[in-house]
Structure 1
Amino acid sequence: MNFTHEIKKERLLISLSGDLIGEDNGTAILEIATNAIHEKVLACIIDISNLRYINSSGIGVLITILTKFRNKGGEVYLMRPSESVQKLLVITKLNAIFQIIQSETEVIK
């Protein structure tokens, strides 16, 4: 899996591509989220449009990020899930826990 991140307009934007399977990148992504929270960033947008697959460890990474942000009064948004990832979110009922958006402009500060 590959990922990039940036903070803009007090929002952390993480873009993921490939397969989110909780490997070493999972730890790095969690560290980025923790650092952003320490910098008072309370919104996290995770662009998952280029993810092909997520396993249970990858779901754990997403839920951990969500927990970290919500514990500080923030929110996590999953942006543009691919069809296969959208199906997984529905099957696991995670679509009821995460806010699913199609663009950054949908995030209300």
Structure 2
Amino acid sequence: MTTTSTVQNGILLIRLSGDLIGSPDTDQLLQTVNNHLGEDLTHCAIDLSEIRYINSTGIGVLVSLLTKFRSRGGELVLINPADHPKKMLAITKLNNIFTVAADEATARQQLTPAAL
């Protein structure tokens, strides 16, 4: 899995590609977020459009990150989950817990009022 991250207007944007199935990928994602949390960020968008496969470990990490941001008074938005991640979110009923945006612009819109 590859991970890229940027911060713009107080929102951490993480783009993932490949498979989100456990170490070292999940460790890398958690480390990326933890590095940015030192910057007092409370809002995050994770682009899942290029994730081919996600398992229970990957889902667990997403839940952990959601909890981390919400406990700081922030929010996490998932961007355009590909087919398999979308099915996994539906099977686990987590599609009712996560905010899902169709694209990056929509995610930023959903997070910006909260960030101000």
TM over 0.5: yes
Unaligned runs of 5+ in 1: none
List structure 1 runs of 4+ shifted beyond 3 angstroms: none
Matching residue of 2:85: 85
Alpha-carbon displacement from aligned partner over 1:27-72 (angstroms, at most 9, x marks no partner): 1211221232221211110000000110111111111111110110
CA contact (8 A) 2:4 2:14 kept: yes
Name the SS for the 1:23 alignment partner: coil
TM-score, normalised by the number of residues in structure 1? 0.92
The whole-number CA distance in structure 1 between the counterparts of 2:76 and 2:104 is 12
Q: What do you get for the CA RMSD once the two structures are aligned? A: 1.2
1:1-109 equivalences under 5 Å are 1-106=1-106, 107-109=110-112
Name the SS for the 2:111 alignment partner: coil
Unaligned runs of 5+ in 2: none
Which residue identity does 1:91 align to in structure 2? I
Q: CA deviation at 1:84?
A: 2.2
Which residue identity does 2:23 align to in structure 1? E
CA contact (8 A) 2:20 2:58 kept: yes
Q: CA deviation at 1:88?
A: 1.3
TM-score, normalised by the number of residues in structure 2? 0.87
CA contact (8 A) 1:20 1:58 kept: yes
CA contact (8 A) 2:47 2:80 kept: yes
